[in-house]
Structure 1
Amino acid sequence: MKALPVDALPVAIIETLRAVLGEGNAALHEPCFQGNEQRYVQDCIASTFVSSVGAYVGRFEQALAEVTGARRAVAVVNGTAALQVALQLAGVEAKDEVIIPALTFVATANAVHYLGAIPHFADSEDQTLGLDPAALRDWLSTIAERSGAGAGRRNRHTGRRLRALVPMHCFGHPCDLDALLAIAQDYQLALVEDAAESLGSRYHGRHTGTFGLLGTLSFNGNKTITTGGGGAILTADMHLADHAKHLTTTAKRPHRWESMHDEIGYNYRMPNLNAALGCAQLEQLPNFLASKRRLAARYRDAFANAGLDQARLMQEPPGCESNYWLQTLILDERVADQRDAILTATNDAGLMTRPAWTLLHQLPPYRDCPRAPLPVAESLARRIINLPSSAGLA
């Protein structure tokens, strides 16, 4: 591979990564299929029930509920669909505002937009990379006003109802849920967790995605477990779970032969074929999580031995257990201008790294959305580098 001229910091980071990963290429995050995947998928094919009907969907939903501690889990086609339906079930309507972090994947905002609602961006905190409760409370104290008895709060600048709050557990690290739940209660906001990245993560012993009215998961190919494409809605409310199941199966009323649909629903049910893959993946989740924690420890030791004071590795917040979905290096602000040089050098060396997502308020579709001051999110976006994180690397 052609060597490129690089300065000292990119070289030192490559050497440190090599100390953990050895020689050769390393993907950012790739799935690991070492269990019953082929057997379950072949069984699904043999049954001929590969689409929206079949035993593996219910089996996968039950296993998810057991793993997360949720009372119910409803499997759907992807995490974005899960969040869209969860927000609808939480009462989000067209022209409502939904508070979400600016530092998140675009799907969080898209799910809001699909309902005709408006994303309202809030800042993140340095310790968790999730929504900053203190900054959010300060912001709401200036822009939220009562809109009438029992009607919640509205944005005094836009006149729109503030309807929901969506914490996203960034790279698998739990947010400060206690403080965010208190804000949701004080401002009459429905709290819906975007736990797309945090399967296996726990906040004070309790699984993420189970604190709000509803929570959502993703099983895309780059997640801790995968169903190829897929997601799930978690809730303790049996009525909401039943409604979620109904909405995501085209709102079709059960009948032996009639096709009667009693409301506008979605064709969002997870296919049985994907659920079969998910059942096998869930069986291996404890091993995946242990491997990712070992990888995090090896990175931590390697960077400590390297003596690099210009960067730090993201660690799980106090009182939390993170799944370390994506291992995250955070550059010091004084070397933030070297981020792209590090990304270029590492990727040229066959070590796949990437920056954080483009902040949502900087994307063309969302530039005019309401937002709080975002100094921390904007700083983090300049400094985050995700490192190779596959469970197989450990």
Structure 2
Amino acid sequence: MTPSNIVEFVRDIYQTSEFIPLHAPTFSGNEKEYVLETIDSTFVSSVGKFVDQFEQKIEAFTGSPKAVATVNGTAALHAALYMVGVERGDLVITQALTFVATCNALYHMGAEPVFVDVSPVSLGLCPKALEAYLSENADLTENGCFHTGTKQRIRAVVPMHTFGHPVEMDELIAVCAKWKLALVEDAAESLGSFYKDKHTGTIGDFGAMSFNGNKVITTGGGGMVLCATEDSGKHTKHVTTTAKVPHPYEFFHDKPGFNYRMPNVNAALGCAQMEVLEDYLVNKRILAASYQSLFSGSEFEFVAEPSYAKSNYWLNAVICPSSDEREQLIKETNAAGVMTRPIWKLMHRLPMFANAMRGDLPHSETIEARLVNLPSTPVWNKSVKRHD
């Protein structure tokens, strides 16, 4: 398998000699109609029917008791962490192999990340690594879980469903229950992914989703907090809308809040995208199967969904035989106009998180050195019915 083989394969899939991006938004339904409706109504900001409709569509699709729309995925994660009680000075365990937004949310809360290793099966937080770190570095008291060395409270665990592949949630929940830790799912990349029969983001205490332009569906910018109960959802919605107490004309806010509400114009885009989500997911799985067939029998390992899960295959990925071959693949494909990219740098390699506490990270380091993401925009399959 050579980079030129991969370029030829991708160009055949997309049937173009033009530049092929990693993941472009697809608009095939009522996007223009709904967005223009918001403009005609003048309700383009945080009040309007599409915000409520988008939340309801996400609730129906994911099975979440309550979904709360936000301006972006980082805001959704920030709100979820706030809701589980993360405070300044707390420690939150997460993975070093993640997008920086996961740690940025902690930084702006005054909390500190602690990095543990990922599983080679899911590319997400490893339950065994989590248990090992806690056993070696934490004390459990009647008041909660505390770091043995610094005496800081360990408040929560944040696994990320990397590239849409669900982590081992049952095992992580068991570890969190044992150590009295909240579990917040970073489900930014996993709309349409299921752990066993449950949608990602609905299994822990809270989940956070993203609808950035490069996600499975997009609202331009936007996020969503998935809440485990209706009551927690009502509280989340209140806090993310400046904690304003409803009144016909008075302005009274009963606690510090966030101005995180998703604008109606963005939600309109999301409503249209949700109408064709099922079709997008079907076509993404067709694309993933094509990649898996391409790499079958080669020295390159396609990243397939775990046996316990159904993934949305947000970004397709392959593990190269070596870091040198990864560099060659990235350079030659991009030079040929086919966008590929490495996975993110491990968070402790970034200057602002260089001093963060961490366990051993052998799987994270191997994946960082050898993984390449491949073009993953769903290709429309004629056998799949469109909803125009």
Q: Report if TM-score (shorter chain) is over 0.5.
A: yes
Give per-residue Cα distances to partners, 1:300-347, cap 9 Å, x unaligned: 12223xx422x1111110021000000011112xx2222122111101
Partners of 1:191 and 1:213 within 8 A in 2 = yes
Alignment-mate amino acid for residue 382 of structure 1: A
1:296 aligns with 2:283: no
Residue equivalent to 2:54: 60
Residue equivalent to 1:40: 34
Partner Cα distance (1:118, 1:180) in 2: 20
Offset at residue 113 of structure 1 (A): 1.3
Partner Cα distance (2:131, 2:320) in 1: 28
Q: 2:340 aligns with which of 353, 359, 374?
A: 353
Residue equivalent to 1:199: 191
Residues 110-189 of structure 1 mapped to structure 2, 5 A cutoff: 110-146=104-140, 148-149=141-142, 151-189=143-181
Residues 1-394 of structure 1 mapped to structure 2, 5 A cutoff: 9-24=2-17, 25-146=19-140, 148-149=141-142, 151-304=143-296, 307-309=297-299, 311-332=300-321, 335-392=322-379
Partner Cα distance (1:162, 1:357) in 2: 25
Partners of 1:124 and 1:376 within 8 A in 2 = yes
Offset at residue 101 of structure 1 (A): 0.6
Partner Cα distance (1:99, 1:258) in 2: 41
Partner Cα distance (2:284, 2:124) in 1: 20
Alignment-mate amino acid for residue 32 of structure 1: T
Offset at residue 59 of structure 1 (A): 0.5
Which deviates more, 352-361 or 336-345?
Answer: 336-345
Partners of 2:139 and 2:146 within 8 A in 1 = yes
Offset at residue 14 of structure 1 (A): 2.8
Partners of 1:218 and 1:231 within 8 A in 2 = yes
Classify the secondary structure of the residue corresponding to 1:13: helix
Offset at residue 265 of structure 1 (A): 0.8
Partners of 1:295 and 1:393 within 8 A in 2 = no
Partners of 1:20 and 1:299 within 8 A in 2 = no
Offset at residue 239 of structure 1 (A): 2.0
Provide the identity percentage.
Answer: 50
Structure 2 gap ranges (5+): 382-388
Partner Cα distance (1:281, 1:15) in 2: 30
Name the Cα RMSD after superposition. Answer: 1.3
Partner Cα distance (2:332, 2:282) in 1: 29
Partners of 1:326 and 1:386 within 8 A in 2 = yes
Offset at residue 205 of structure 1 (A): 1.3
Q: Which 4+ runs in 1 deviate beyond 3 A?
A: 15-23
Partner Cα distance (2:127, 2:186) in 1: 16
Classify the secondary structure of the residue corresponding to 1:392: coil
Offset at residue 16 of structure 1 (A): 3.9
Alignment-mate amino acid for residue 157 of structure 2: L
TM-score between the two structures when normalised by the length of structure 1: 0.94
Alignment-mate amino acid for residue 83 of structure 1: L
Task: From the superposition, tell whether residues 237 and 27 of structure 1 become closer, same or farther in structure 2 (CA, over 3 Å).
Answer: same
Partners of 1:20 and 1:302 within 8 A in 2 = no
Residue equivalent to 2:384: none
Classify the secondary structure of the residue corresponding to 2:24: coil
Partner Cα distance (2:304, 2:61) in 1: 23
Give per-residue Cα distances to partners, 1:105-159, cap 9 Å, x unaligned: 000001111111101111011111011111221121100112x42x111111221
Partners of 1:32 and 1:392 within 8 A in 2 = no
Partners of 1:248 and 1:265 within 8 A in 2 = yes
Offset at residue 22 of structure 1 (A): 4.2
Partners of 1:16 and 1:303 within 8 A in 2 = no
Offset at residue 15 of structure 1 (A): 3.6
Partner Cα distance (1:168, 1:70) in 2: 18
Partner Cα distance (1:22, 1:282) in 2: 26
Offset at residue 23 of structure 1 (A): 4.4
